[in-house]
Amino acid sequence: MRTTPLPVSSYFRTKVLTSYVMAIVSLALIFAAGLSLGVHLRASAWFETAGLMLVGIIPFVVLGILLGHLLTVDSLGPALGGIVALFALLGGSWGPIGGSSGALHDVVQYLPSYWLVQGGKLAIGGQGWPVMAWIVIGVWTLALLRITTRVYRRDTGRA
């Protein structure tokens, strides 16, 4: 990377595209498993759920790129596992945390993982995302992107 004139934007586009190809394959396999096990939804519910999932993973894609530049190859796996587990726990992937109201519930609503879980619940009769969800995903994405760009430039010695 240090010897190539690859622009930062090209680097990020390639990393994000690769991440999305993997995400789309994963979603397709999950949806195929659901269909094969008898899950019946309106076509619009399948597409809306997939769309929210693909938007909801944006901050996590950027976080993965950031961690790839901050950590060694040996420490990346355990760190990602711990971070993903923490976000999953706090976001409600393993069950509701903090109930439907209260201080803890208010705090977890500022995590992108919370809204990713809410997007997944759309398929089982949940609601679409409110404005707050879009703001949380956007703010996390922009903040992580800014940090990641700085770390990338520092890591590759670019000005």
28 pLDDT band, cuts 50/70/90, is: very high
For residues 148, 150, 152, 157, the Cα torsion angle rounded to the nearest 10 degrees is: -170
Which pLDDT tens digit goes with each residue over 62-87?
A: 999 999 889 998 999 899 999 999 99
Q: What is the pLDDT of residues 32-69, one digit of tens each?
A: 999 999 988 888 888 888 999 999 999 999 999 999 88
Q: Is residue 38 part of a domain?
A: yes
Q: What is the pLDDT of residue 6?
A: 73
Structurally, the chain folds into a number of domains equal to 1
Position 18 pLDDT exceeds 60: yes
Domain presence at residue 45: yes
Res. 158 pLDDT band, cuts 50 70 90:
low
pLDDT at 114: 92
Residue 105 inside a domain? The answer is yes
Banded pLDDT at 98 (limits 50, 70, 90): low
Domain assignment present for residue 2? The answer is no
Angle subtended at Cα 143 by Cα 97 and Cα 58, rounded to the nearest 5 degrees = 65
Q: What's the pTM?
A: 0.84
Residue 144 lies in a domain: yes
Residue 15 forms part of a structural domain: yes
Is 1 among the domain residues?
no
How high is the mean pLDDT of the chain? 87
Q: Are 69 and 148 in contact (CB under 8 A)?
A: yes
Q: Which pLDDT value is given to residue 59?
A: 95
Task: Assess contact for 53 and 133: CB atoms under 8 A.
Answer: no
The answer to whether residue 68 sits within a structural domain is yes
Tell me the residue range of the domain where 114 lies.
Answer: 8-156
